[in-house]
Amino acid sequence: MSGKAAAAMSPAQSNGQLFTIGLVTAWYSSNIGVLLLNKYLLSNYGFKYPIFLTMCHMTACSLFSYVAIAWLKIVPMQFIRSRVQFMKIAALSLVFCGSVVSGNVSLRYLPVSFNQAVGATTPFFTAVFAYLMTLRQESWVTYITLIPVVTGVIIASGIISSVRGEPSFHLFGFIMCIGATAARALKSVLQGILMSSEGEKLNSMNLLLYMAPIAVVFLLPATIIMEENVVGTTIALARQDFKIIWYLLFNSSLAYFVNLTNFLVTKHTSPLTLQVLGNAKGAVAVVISILIFRNPVSVTGMAGYTLTIIGVILYSESKKRNKGS
């Protein structure tokens, strides 16, 4: 009887596994897709307006978030309860803007492969900010695992080598990429501090619903001041090649889809599975970007990136064991 019951359950389990695989595939596709399209627009296509591009992303996230929550009811609507909570969300939004804009700026100067190598050092910055802002200490083993994370990027960038490790290394792009990675880690730590009380916690979809329009308010004056006549330039580009409009619309939609699929994958898998998938995603993005953009990557650069990924995996394993103990 139990065998029949198990057999009866297998189709449902199989469907559940297929659903999860579909979610992960959608998450990978949207995440890597928006990264590669950002690189194409900002570097290869010549659309040199990273702040405006980020504002397009945030506008799409504002609209799609409202549709997903208010109309489609993917998650229940959560409301801002106080002015203090609003100010906390605004602070998170400002840091988030800095992260996305810096990341997009770096893509103008760095290949996706090197961008991903630097981005993999997020755990290092998270550990640093967590210690500085909350005095939370990790085990000494966890800190040791951060050594290969940072060393790998140093090797990949060629900072300690007389022969440049990364053929496409660009100092300003590297600084912007480090800034984006640090800001991403800072947002993560700030979110844990600012939204820690039970009455202020928001799920990631509702947090995006409120952060995105605030980000647009921050980015609009920055775009006007720093990227003068971007609208006129975009219209002129569209007259020459209307595909730029479709690129921007599709790219902005993908930016929201990244957040949606990340939320769904988090919901349907374990945190450990998410960490492993995230590490693998970076490696997949590197391989695909090299195949598409044909950017030169040295053996030293790949060795450095591999060392960083190994460090991230060891860091994740150390964190998991500390939580279990």
Q: Which of 80-89, 130-139, 190-199 has the highest mean pLDDT?
A: 80-89
Is 112 in contact with 293 (CB distance < 8 Å)? Answer: yes
- DSSP per-residue string spanning 130-167: HHHHH-----HHHHHHHHHHHHHHHHHHTTT-SS-SST
Q: Which of 126, 124, 111 is nearest to 151 (CA)?
A: 124
Question: 275 vs 312, which has greater pLDDT?
Answer: 312
Check pLDDT > 50 for residue 1.
no
Separation CA 192–CA 186 (nearest Å): 10
Would you place residue 46 in the very low, low, confident or very high pLDDT band (cuts 50, 70, 90)?
confident
Residue 190: burial class (beta carbons within 10 Å; 0-12, 13-18, 19+): middle
Separation CA 51–CA 291 (nearest Å): 27
Is 186 in contact with 97 (CB distance < 8 Å)? Answer: no
Check pLDDT > 90 for residue 168.
no
Mapped onto helix, strand or coil, the DSSP state of residue 73 is coil
Residue 325's pLDDT is 57
Residue 3's pLDDT is 52
Residue 58's pLDDT is 97
**Residue-wise pLDDT tens digits, 170-212:** 889 999 999 999 999 999 899 988 888 888 889 999 999 999 9
Separation CA 291–CA 112 (nearest Å): 11
Residue 55's pLDDT is 97
CA atoms lying within 13 Å on the CB side of residue 191: 19
**If you average pLDDT over every residue of the chain, what do you get?**
86
- Model pTM score: 0.85
Using the structure block, give the residue that is written with the tokens 């060629």. 158
Separation CA 160–CA 156 (nearest Å): 10
Residue 289's pLDDT is 85
Q: What single letter denotes the amino acid at residue 8?
A: A
Question: 209 vs 322, which has greater pLDDT?
Answer: 209
Would you place residue 288 in the very low, low, confident or very high pLDDT band (cuts 50, 70, 90)?
confident
Q: What single letter denotes the amino acid at residue 67?
A: V
Check pLDDT > 90 for residue 11.
no
Separation CA 194–CA 127 (nearest Å): 17
